[in-house]
Amino acid sequence: MRNGLWLVVTLVVAAAFGQRLEGWDVRTDSGTRFDALIGSGLNSFQWGQLRGQENVPPRFARHAYIRNIRVIDGGDPFGRVAILWSGWEGNGTDRTEYWIRDGYKAPPVYEAAQVGRIWSSNDLFRIRMWNEQYFSWQPRSVVVSVYAANAPTPTIASMTTPSWTDLSGLDLLPNRPGIQIDPGQTPSVDMAVLFGSYTVRRAWVQGLKRVRQLDQYETESRPSPFRDQVRLQASFSTRINGEPSEPSATADHLLDWAPLDGVVDRPIPAYGGSWTIPLAGLPRGTVISFDMNVAVRHLPFDQNGQPIPPAPRRPVDDLRESDRVYFDLRGLTYSYSGAISGGGVVSDEDAPPVCIPKQPGTLDITLNLQDFGLPYNISITLAGRALSDDVVEWSTDFYPNLCITVEGVQVKVKRIWGKLTARLTRRPYFVEPLCGRTFNLTIVPFGGDSGNWLNGEFYALCQEYDFTRVNAQVRSIDYYATSGIDYEPPDPRLLYQRTRSQWLELILQGDVNGDGCVDDAELLRVLFAFGQSGSNLPEDLNGDNMVDDADLLIALFNFGRCY
């Protein structure tokens, strides 16, 4: 029975979506059901519906409801999600009824939400089919749908790159730090600064699913239900010997999208200026610094219209953004009873480590059981959710209905359910060779058997009877895993940034000894150093790392000048 129980142990989740809801306090009568149209079930779905279709017996009613729904994962970088609720009934009057968001036969409800948001009420998500006839059975049909989509984040659709006048072409000593300028030759410099122009785009929410009638849906787009602001903040400043001076310039431009604002693109115009900066009269050795800073930032607002402050980076965020998980089962105990009874231990040697692919943006994990050397091409789901900043819980309730051979006996795997709970710990970045990744998290069990357990329902001979049932339990689960990201993620609020600096030093070209005059001493210094090569030679007056005729000519042309 070990292979069958190993099948239970190696449960891992696959998900192709990032926005996830879960529901609880559920009722479904005959003729009704819950469908995860996108997702893996009631505990992890992006698009779900309550569906009712039946020939209802005389004087009978059929009910189905979900009284609690929560956003458990996904959203834009700030956890913002757009929710579309919709419903349809096909028989009119009170014979088929539905409620969405406490509204009786309400039109589609479109609203803002965030990860962690919970809706709770008796009429949150509910359908009812009623047959008022006394003798005949009556066909009834009704459906309600809820769909979650990421809220769009503003992006820069096009831009003119910020620019300014590059003064490096005036540099008399290009091999030395800064830009050396002789005011006797260049009495002023011209500076122009352009802070750029931008088109900022906030796209509509795409792909929303609205129920049209039974098993028919429409895909539609709507403006974001959130408020967003985008601000350009730019500055150009001048410092002389470290002290602020003129010229200087600033730009501040704000774009504001209200909830349901249908405008997609908004412009930020170009800002800037041009100046002539006199150098004559400034002392020799003066350092003039120019600094340009340009930033385009996004300020997101939450579902209540309040600004979202920067959130501290948490271990669970690193796990969510990772694309691999190294998993090594260290051991467990298992037991089974019923048609077959027994138990045993799985050791570390029995379960080699694996590298599990994972989709960034979700806490779910991906595995095909063939990755474990099992001859079964199936995926099983453990849906992940954060219990705290550093604790994650994965849960599953899966019905494979798969008939397999275990130690020569045909066994039907009917149901597998359970959960794993783990604590995440940040570490300095390290290389995980099996995954070929640099990680920063270790993952170990948390909560003992109450947080880490798996159960299975099996049937011997693949015959589903009470006397062939086998109940399996897996406990004392010990494992070691690693994951994470190998970089510090950028601030999603910063859409663009450009920072540039350049500084000028005022010199007297030809002044070798720094006494402020070009005279016989300079000529002698150049002559004695003639033919030398190397960097930072004082006698190298043109900065080409060679003392030659060109340096002697510079000293001669400037002979007699003082600064």
Residue 374 is predicted with a pLDDT of 45
Give the residue from 206, 113, 116, 219 showing the smallest Cα distance to 152.
Answer: 206
Residue 175 is predicted with a pLDDT of 76
- Domain match, 137 and 166 both: no
- Domain match, 234 and 350 both: no
Residue 377 is predicted with a pLDDT of 58
Amino acid at site 472: A
Residue 513 is predicted with a pLDDT of 73
Q: What is the 3-state secondary structure (H, E, C) of 147-160?
A: EEEECCCCEEEEEC
Query: Would you state the structure tokens that stand for residue 535, as one six-digit string?
Result: 């960097």
Is 174 domain-assigned? yes
What is the C-alpha to C-alpha distance for residues 434 and 277, in angstroms, rounded to an integer?
60
Q: What percent of the chain has pLDDT over 90?
A: 58
What is the value of pTM for the model shown? Answer: 0.72
Stronger pLDDT, 382 or 402, i.e. the higher one = 402
Is 364 domain-assigned? yes
Is 265 domain-assigned? yes
Residue 40 is predicted with a pLDDT of 84
Residue 557 is predicted with a pLDDT of 77
Give residues with Cβ within 8 angstroms of 82, minimum separation 6: 110, 111, 112, 113, 148, 149, 150, 151, 205, 208, 222, 224, 225, 226
Residue 6 is predicted with a pLDDT of 37
Is 438 domain-assigned? yes
* Structural domains counted in the chain: 4
What is the C-alpha to C-alpha distance for residues 174 and 463, in angstroms, rounded to an integer?
86
- Domain match, 328 and 475 both: yes
Is 86 domain-assigned? yes
What is the C-alpha to C-alpha distance for residues 471 and 441, in angstroms, rounded to an integer?
35
Is the pLDDT confidence value at 357 over 60? yes
- Domain match, 456 and 333 both: yes
Give the pLDDT band of residue 376 (cuts 50, 70, 90).
Answer: low
- Domain match, 107 and 70 both: yes
* Cβ atoms of residues 99 and 118 within 8 Å: no
Provide the CATH number for the domain around residue 544: 1.10.1330.10
Judged by average pLDDT, the poorest of 173-177, 279-283, 367-371 is 367-371
Q: What are the pLDDT digits (tens) for 249-287?
A: 999 999 999 999 999 999 999 999 999 999 988 988 898
> Looking at residues 491-514, what average pLDDT do you find?
86
Provide the CATH number for the domain around residue 189: 2.60.40
Considering 130, 150, 170, which residue would you say is the last residue of a domain? Answer: 150
Is 212 domain-assigned? no
138-167 core/surface letters (b: 16 or more CB in 10 A; e: else): bebbbbbbbbbbbbbbbebeebeebebeeb
- Domain match, 136 and 167 both: no
Stronger pLDDT, 364 or 152, i.e. the higher one = 152
Stretch (H or E) spanning 4:
helix 2-9
* Cβ atoms of residues 480 and 436 within 8 Å: no
Give the pLDDT band of residue 534 (cuts 50, 70, 90).
Answer: confident
Q: What are the pLDDT digits (tens) for 410-463?
A: 889 888 888 999 999 999 888 898 998 899 999 999 999 999 998 989 999 999
CA distance between the termini of the chain = 95
Residue 184 is predicted with a pLDDT of 85
Mean pLDDT of the chain: 88
- Domain match, 165 and 180 both: yes
Residue 380 is predicted with a pLDDT of 72
Stronger pLDDT, 174 or 230, i.e. the higher one = 230
- Domain match, 289 and 391 both: no
Q: Which domain holds residue 285?
A: 155-203+227-299+493-505
Is 245 domain-assigned? yes
> Looking at residues 184-196, what average pLDDT do you find?
94
CA angle 108, 111, 117 (to 5 degrees): 125
Q: What is the 3-state secondary structure (H, E, C) of 296-361?
A: EEEEEECCCCCECCCCCCCHHHHHHHCCEEEEEEEEEEEEEEECCCEEEEEEHHHCCCEEEECCCC
- Domain match, 345 and 478 both: yes
> Looking at residues 360-368, what average pLDDT do you find?
77
> Looking at residues 173-181, what average pLDDT do you find?
83
Is the pLDDT confidence value at 556 over 70? yes
* Cβ atoms of residues 379 and 356 within 8 Å: no
> Looking at residues 488-514, what average pLDDT do you find?
85
Give the pLDDT band of residue 368 (cuts 50, 70, 90).
Answer: low
Is 304 domain-assigned? no
Give the pLDDT band of residue 542 (cuts 50, 70, 90).
Answer: confident
Judged by average pLDDT, the poorest of 13-22, 30-39, 115-124, 289-298 is 13-22
Q: What are the pLDDT digits (tens) for 33-72?
A: 999 999 888 989 999 999 999 999 999 999 999 999 999 9
Query: Would you state the structure tokens that stand for residue 50, as one six-digit string?
Result: 């309550």
- Domain match, 365 and 456 both: yes
| DSSP result, 274-285 | EEEEE-TTSPTT
Is the pLDDT confidence value at 369 over 90? no
- Domain match, 391 and 473 both: yes
Is the pLDDT confidence value at 8 over 50? no
Q: Could you give phi then psi for residue 324, rounded to 5 degrees?
A: -150, 150
- Domain match, 381 and 430 both: yes
Q: What are the pLDDT digits (tens) for 209-233?
A: 999 999 999 999 999 999 999 999 9
